[in-house]
Amino acid sequence: MNDYLARELAVPVGAAGTDPGGLVHALTYVPRAAAAGRLRAPLVVCCHGLGESGLRVAPVAQRLAAAGAVAIAPSFRGGGAPTTGPTTAMTIGAELADLDAVLKTARTWPFVDAARTALFGRSQGGLVAMLAAAAHPAQITALALWYPALGAPASVRSRFGRLDAVPETFTSRVDGRDITLGRDFARDLWTRDVEAAMGRYPSPVLLVHGEADADVPLAVSQAAARTLTDARLERIPGAGHGFGDANYETAVRWTVDFLAWAGVLDD
């Protein structure tokens, strides 16, 4: 038997659920002791990458729940699944609104210790987590980011040169897949200053990056480690964009240990 309970959650986005996007769906894992009211558990929200859903980060959320956290894996709008809508409608701003709605809801639960809140993110989810933490630095105790796409704004500017040169739709290749995106995605990213955002976040950040990542080069996390106030960069030799088998287990262990060290998880 698992040490946690699994539930599906649907959270209204926007004030009183009036956002045109409607609901953000999430997989939620609650330690049994917390569900029974015997303790208040820390909160970790896990952010998936481009063109994915919460299922992609659910295994990490389950491991964090087994380590004692209330762990949530939302499926951000625009992930391409039937419940999230087309990728051409996705923007970073919409994903930030989804994450904010999930955080606000979860922090009201009586079994959650909101003072111990962390974010996990992989790839584009790492960018979303970083921007969310920078917007509310006092609310986020720590960040754990795997190969975060922190260079996305610079990449889209470099690719198109001018905002008015961005076509109505374009593709981005990630993990060997072509993801179709809309002009609003580029417009939203265009003026985002990720370096300034990183400078506003004072709490501990774990960066885990494969040295052979062709989608998000290791140099992105190396630059982030120099910019962030309190960062730890762990490198995995030979690993690409996404970890499997032994590399995945190593990354999960580093993540759990880091969140315990940062005071999120109980040691």
Please report, rounded to a whole number, the percentage of residues in the chain having pLDDT higher than 90: 88
pLDDT confidence band for 1 (50 / 70 / 90) = low
What mean pLDDT is predicted for residues 54-81?
Answer: 94
What mean pLDDT is predicted for residues 103-128?
Answer: 98
pLDDT confidence band for 256 (50 / 70 / 90) = very high
pLDDT confidence band for 85 (50 / 70 / 90) = confident
- Within a domain: 56: yes
pLDDT confidence band for 28 (50 / 70 / 90) = very high
In the predicted model, is pLDDT for residue 84 greater than 90?
no
- The reported pLDDT for the residue numbered 18 is 42
- Within a domain: 13: yes
What mean pLDDT is predicted for residues 128-145?
Answer: 98
What tokens were used for 235? 């490198």
- The reported pLDDT for the residue numbered 81 is 72
- The b-or-e profile of 57-69 (16+ CB within 10 A means b, else e) is bbebbbbbbebbb
What tokens were used for 171? 């593709």
pLDDT confidence band for 80 (50 / 70 / 90) = confident
- The reported pLDDT for the residue numbered 17 is 40
User: What is the domain extent for residue 37?
Assistant: 4-261
What mean pLDDT is predicted for residues 163-187?
Answer: 93
- The reported pLDDT for the residue numbered 173 is 87
- Within a domain: 37: yes
- Within a domain: 207: yes
**Residue 22 to residue 5: CA distance in whole angstroms:** 26
- The reported pLDDT for the residue numbered 21 is 56
- Within a domain: 267: no
- Within a domain: 113: yes
In the predicted model, is pLDDT for residue 114 greater than 80?
yes
- The reported pLDDT for the residue numbered 15 is 53
- Within a domain: 266: no
**Residue 39 to residue 37: CA distance in whole angstroms:** 6
CA nearest 215: which of 141, 136, 150? Answer: 150
pLDDT confidence band for 16 (50 / 70 / 90) = very low
Cα angle, residue 106 at apex, residues 261 and 113 outer, rounded to 5°: 40
What mean pLDDT is predicted for residues 24-36?
Answer: 96
- The reported pLDDT for the residue numbered 35 is 95
Look at the chain and report how many structural domains it folds into: 1
- Within a domain: 8: yes
Average pLDDT, the chain: 94
